[in-house]
Structure 1
Amino acid sequence: MTNHRRSIRICGTGVAVPEQVLTSDEIDRRFGLPAGTVFKRYGVRARHRTVHENSATLAVQACEAALANAGLGWSDIDCLVSASATMDQALPYNAAMILAALGGHAKRIAAFDVGASCLSFLVGLDTLSYLVESGRYRNVMIVSADIATFSLDWSTLGESAIFGDGAAAAVIRKSAPGEASSILASRIETYPEGAEYCHIKAGGSRYHPRRLSSSIDPLSLFHMDGPRLFKAASRELPRFVKGLLDSAELTLDQLRLVVPHQASRLAIDHLAKRLRIEASRTVDILADYGNQVAASLPSALHHAIAGGRMQRGDPIMLIGSGAGLTIGGMVMVY
């Protein structure tokens, strides 16, 4: 696998969340559980839940926050990439819906989607970095906006206790001479034997309502075989990370921070334990936001930057897994 170092700079990030907050105490009461049960079991204290928002409006809010952070305006953006795990609607694609939601700010620029479930942001960043470095685009906005609320089975615990809704965006450009910001290495692997471990079957032509003799509602819900997914990802992770770091010519000890996809309490803790990374070098926002699907990783990245946990020139690693089964990672200099 060839890895090409790219002179790419994240020049601004932003996030957005729905107005309503759903606490784990409320879920405890809903299921008749003692106070603190859900938080103790799943590690999520609160998550944002969509009522009247849609993913396009959340995406616009996150994009505008990223633009403000970068000191740019929409007139500076020449490519918009939606890197979400879920669709706002079947057609048109998410990026077109986001551009339409801009209203008067919208202009005729390239807009398209990049999808890889929970790793959509990482895959989008990896893919677009080559186009930016080559000069095809100047300033690219990559945004992940996911609403999990309506795909969860709220009659049971489990996934309904873990997921939250939200959006996160980043503006990237080519690094200027003298700027250290760069992508040192990236790696993405998909293991098709895990395709059934995590899915929402409805939404496409395979399980279209016109082909079904029964209600589509059960097929519209998120299903995950947690133990099999966790076992498969855990088995591949050490080898995967070693290959990624070897390509970057760095060791784990040289990384300032590790920014993982906020999959679950078990996944984050296992990652830290398996790689022997202390908590002070791991970004963990799960307790306050839950798993925001594709928006989780860029949200964690944003909060680490905004909280001063990384400075320009610091080497960091983005890492995660998602439905597919896919594992992805990137080592970069912020």
Structure 2
Amino acid sequence: MSGPLRARLTGVGGYLPRTIVTNDDLAQKIETSDEWIRARTGITQRHIVSGDETTASMAAAAARQALEQAGVNAEDVDAIIVATSTPDQVFPAVATQVQALLGITKGFGFDISAACSGFVYALASANSFIQSGLAKKVLVIGSEVFSRLLDWNDRTTCVLFGDGAGAVLLEAGTEEGEGILSTHLHSDGRSGDILYVDGAVGCAGTTQHLKMLGREVFRHAVVKLSQAVDEALEANNLTGQDIQWLVPHQANLRIIDGMAKKLALPADRVVVTVDRHANTSAASIPLALNEAVRDGRIQKGDLVLMEALGGGLTWGSALVRM
């Protein structure tokens, strides 16, 4: 007799825009320096969209890689969930655009807006669809063009972000102890004013640029991410020593280092891409996961912890047995 349905992660993919912008490139346009950016964030460069690159095109490219690795045809996908704060259009959703780009004519797709935590939220949603039997194969994608939200004259924010997309394919299975073990989601709207975009389609007279109180975000991140990590460990009767890989949201190297110390994980067990990708919001975790799977660091059977915090505030964690 088979056990309950579980969501297994069977494929990963990623896409980074062609154009690379270094810290030195930014220093030619605004009052900043490579040393200043590195010391505060660990970032050395970021990828920025150009030409025909869009949130949907990047999402589709990452999804194709995930499907190829899993050996699954696009037409067999039941659902697509895209985490993004930067859709190409108000509607239709990026997910339905990806559906069309991949030639999928069945199932359903929708977007999730949870800022930098979006991928964890999307992963949790896909897991629920699979556990309920509503879908058997789900593409979960994070895709962002944050470069279009930035005030490129504000050195406190424009140096922090980049563009890109990452994707995973989840498939239904029954093997106990494999796949997504648990997910944990939280939000607190009372802190929405420390990290937000000033306006949107319905708000006249706004800048529609990203605004951030960096010190406040850092303070909340340290506390709330620690809580989310503890929650994942406790739910599975594990300790930090049981975790083989930490794949965190890539916002700031100091925050990443803090989470690694909490888990007593050595640096070579933490996947870091923020130095080359900067903060790609909802795309950062799947991009980092894709890199570590494809270069052979993360292997089948490894226990991987993911965590993120974003505007809202939103935060959460996910524990996955690869």
Same fold (TM over 0.5): yes
Q: For residues 139-191 of structure 1, give each alpha carbon's deviation from its aligned partner in whole angstroms, at most 9, with x where no partner exists.
A: 111111100111111112122111110001111011254x7522222211112
Question: Matches of 1:248 and 1:277 in 2, distance apart?
Answer: 18
Residue 298 (str. 1) matches residue 286 (str. 2): yes
Letter in 1 for 2:21: L
Q: CA offset at residue 109 of structure 1?
A: 2.4
Q: Which amino acid aligns with 1:175?
A: G
Q: Separation in 2 of the partners of 1:239 and 1:136?
A: 31
* Residue 22 (structure 1) aligns with: 21
1:313 matched to 2:301: yes
Give the equivalent residue in structure 2 for 1:253: 241
**8 Å Cα contact 2:118/2:282 also seen in 1:** yes
Separation in 2, partners of 1:88, 1:33: 30
Identity, % of aligned pairs? 28
2:188 is aligned, of 169, 188, 191, to 191
How many residue pairs get aligned? The number is 318
1:6-85 aligned within 5 A: 7-31=6-30, 36-52=35-51, 53-85=53-85
CA distance in 2, matches of 1:9, 1:34: 44
**Residues 235, 38 of structure 1: CA spacing in aligned structure 2 closer, same or farther, 3 A cutoff?**
closer
How far the C-alpha of 1:93 sits from its partner, in A, is 1.9
Q: Distance in 1 between matches of 2:173 and 2:236?
A: 18
Q: Which whole-Å CA distance do the structure 1 matches of 2:40 and 2:89 have between them?
A: 33
4+ aligned runs moved over 6 Å, structure 1: none
Residue 114 of structure 1, CA deviation = 2.3
**How do 1:119-130 and structure 2 match up within 5 A?**
119-130=117-128
Range with bigger deviation, 125-134 or 278-287 = 125-134
The answer to whether the aligner puts 1:169 opposite 2:167 as a matched pair is yes
C-alpha distance in structure 1 between counterparts of 2:217 and 2:33, whole Å: 29
Distance (Å, rounded) in 2 between the aligned partners of 1:180 and 1:236: 27
Q: 1:141 aligns with which of 139, 142, 162?
A: 139
| Matching of residue 240 in structure 1 with residue 228 in structure 2 | yes
Partner Cα separation in structure 1 for residue 226 and residue 63 of structure 2: 34
CA deviation digits over 1:282-322, x for unaligned, max 9? Answer: 11111111111100011111112112222222111111111
Cα separation, partners in 2 of 1:34 and 1:252, compared to 1, 3 Å? closer
Equivalent AA in structure 2 for residue 46 of structure 1: Q
* Mapped contact 2:82–2:112 kept (Cα < 8 A): yes
Please report how far the alpha carbon of residue 238 of structure 1 lies from its aligned counterpart in structure 2 after TM superposition. 3.1
Asked whether the equivalents of residues 221 and 255 of structure 2 are also in contact (C-alpha less than 8 Å), the reply is: no
Using a 3 Å threshold, how does the CA distance of structure 1 residues 138 and 46 change in structure 2: closer, same or farther? Answer: same
Q: Name 2:88's counterpart in structure 1.
A: 88
TM-superposed CA distance for 1:57, in Å, is 0.8
Secondary structure at 1:299 match in 2 = helix
1:125 deviates by 1.1
State the partner residue of 1:200. Answer: 197
2:178 is the counterpart of 1:181: yes
For the aligned residue pairs, the C-alpha RMSD in angstroms reads: 2.0
Q: Which runs of 5+ in 2 are unaligned?
A: none
Q: Where does residue 212 of structure 1 map in the other structure? A: none
Distance, in Å, in 2 between the alignment partners of 1:32 and 1:112 is: 40
Counterpart selection for 1:228 from 216, 221, 225: 216
| TM superposition score normalised by structure 1 | 0.89
Q: How many Å apart are 1:256 and its aligned residue?
A: 0.5
How far does residue 225 in structure 1 lie from its aligned partner after superposition?
A: 1.0
Going from structure 1 to structure 2, the CA distance change for 1:30 and 1:204 (only over 3 Å counts) comes to closer
Deviations 1:200-227 (A, max 9, x none): 132243x1x3xxxxx43x2x10001111
**Which TM-score applies when normalising by structure 2?**
0.92
**Aligned-partner Cα distance in 1 for 2:185–2:34:** 41
Counterpart residue type for residue 167 of structure 1: A
Q: Is the 8 A contact 2:9 2:168 kept in 1?
A: yes
Judged with a 3 Å threshold, the aligned counterparts in structure 2 of structure 1 residues 113 and 50 are, in CA distance, closer, same or farther, namely same
Identify the range of structure 1 (249-258 vs 183-192) with the bigger mean alpha-carbon deviation: 183-192
Looking at structure 1, the residues matched to 228 and 11 of structure 2 have their Cα atoms a distance apart, in angstroms, of: 29
Mapped partners of 1:169, 1:239: distance in 2: 26
